[in-house]
Amino acid sequence: MTEAQFLQKLIFWRREIHKNPELGGQEFKTKKLIEKTLKEFGIPYKKISKTGILAFLNRSKSANDPCIALRADMDALPLNEISKKNYASKNPGIMHACGHDAHVAMLLGACLKLSQTKDLKGTVKFFFQPNEEGAGGAKELIQEGVMQNPKVNGIFGLHVNPRLSSGKIGLKSGPLMAAVDQFEIKIFGNGGHAAYPHEGKDALLIGAEIVQALQTIVSRKIDPVEPCVVTVGTFQSGSRYNILAGDATLTGTVRTLSEKIHRKIPKLIHQIVQGICKAHQARFKISYNILGSVLSNHKEMTELAKDTAQELFGKECVEELEKPSMGGEDFAEYLKIASGCFIYLGVGKNENEPMFPWHHPQFDLDESSLPKGADLLAGIAKKFLKC
C-alpha cells in the first residue's frame, strides 16, 4: 500500500466516524465500523462492555514476552456542529469536537501496520474505548480485565492537538493533564414577593455571593505557584422577574495537578458555602465527585516515545512541552496500573485557515497529519517489543 493510499484509508475512517458521531456508551455505529475493519485485516477482537472493543495481535512464544497496549477513545460531544464540510455531523446536537474520530482512525491504521509486521515478539492490545468524555470509559474497560491476561507492561495513547503545528509530536514527562472534579451546590432559601425581599431569603443572591467567594480559593487560599482552577459553569435560580428565588443550583469543575491540593479543595468549598449560607440562615447541600486523576507520564516511556518519533520523523518534528494542561483525560486510569505515555499530535491548520480549539462547534483538523499518528503508535509498539 502506498503512502497516498494509506492516507486515504485514514481519512475515510475518520470522516465516516465524524459524520456519525455518538455520545459515550452509545457508540454502536462506530463499533460496527471498527469490527468490519478488523475483520478485513484478519485481526482477532472481542467486545468489551456495551460498545468497547479489545483487539489483539499475539505473537508471544513464552509467558515472559512483553505486552503493550495502544488506546483510542471513540465518543463525541453534545454539541451542534457549525460546518459546510461534506463530512459534517448528521446527528443534530452531537459532534466530534475533540478529535476522537481521528484517534480511532489512527489506531486502526496502527492495527493495519502491525498486522503486516512479521517479527513482533510479544502481544499488542488495541483498546477502542467508549465514554472518555463522561470519564467512566477507562475504568469500565479496566474492570472488564483489559489490562490483564496477558498483563500489560506498557500503554500508550495519542490525542490530536490543534495548538501544535500539523505533524508535530508533543511530549512531556511527568504531569501532563489535570485531575478533574465535578461539584453541585444546592441552596435552599425562602421565596416571596420581590418587592418585599426582607421577608424572604434570596437564594439567587446567596448563590451569587458563593460564585464570587469560590474564586478566592485560587486567589487567596492556594499557593500562587500551584496550578488550580475552580470554575462555576452553571447557575440556575429564579422563575420570574418579581418573585424572590427560593432555591438555586450551581455546578462547576475543579482542576488540579497536585494531590495535596486535590484533597484540600472540597474542604475549602464546603467552608465557603457553609459560611455564606449560615450568614443568610439558608440551608445547602453539596455533591462532590472525583471524575479523573492527574495524568502523569512515566519518564522511560516518554523517552521511548521521543526516540521513536525522532527516528521516524526527525528531531525537528518533536516538541518537548514545558507546561501541563488543565484539561483532563481518563487515560490516567491506565497509568495507575502500567507505565506509559500520553502523546499529543499536532493538527493545527495553516496560517490562512482559522484554528478552533477542542470542544468548539467549528473544530476540525489537518488530516494530512493522520499517517504520522498511526506510524508513531505502530513504531512505539515495535520498539517496545524490541522488533
Active site residues: 75, 132
Contact residues for 253 (Cβ-Cβ < 8 A; gap 6+): 180, 181, 182, 183, 229, 230, 231, 233
DSSP 8-state assignment for residue 250:
E
Q: How far apart are CA 247 and CA 226, in angstroms?
A: 34
Q: How far apart are CA 29 and CA 48, in angstroms?
A: 15
Q: How far apart are CA 276 and CA 284, in angstroms?
A: 10
* Cα–chain center distance at 365: 17
Q: Among 91, 103, 92, 98, which Cα is nearest to 77's?
A: 98
Beta-sheet pairing, 169-171 with 295-297: unpaired
Decide: helix, strand or coil at residue 251.
Answer: strand
DSSP string, 26-58: --HHHHHHHHHHHHHHT--EEEETTTEEEEEEE
Query: In the structure grid, which three cell numbers stand for residue 122, read together?
Result: 510479544
Contact residues for 206 (Cβ-Cβ < 8 A; gap 6+): 187, 189, 248, 276, 277, 280, 282
Whether 312 contacts 379, CB under 8 Å: yes
Give Dmax over CA atoms of the chain in angstroms: 81
| Residues written for the chain | 387
Burial 79-111 (b: 16+ CB within 10 A, else e): bebeeeeebebeeeebbbbbbbbbbbbbbbbbb
Q: How far apart are CA 108 and CA 17, in angstroms?
A: 12
Whether 113 contacts 375, CB under 8 Å: yes
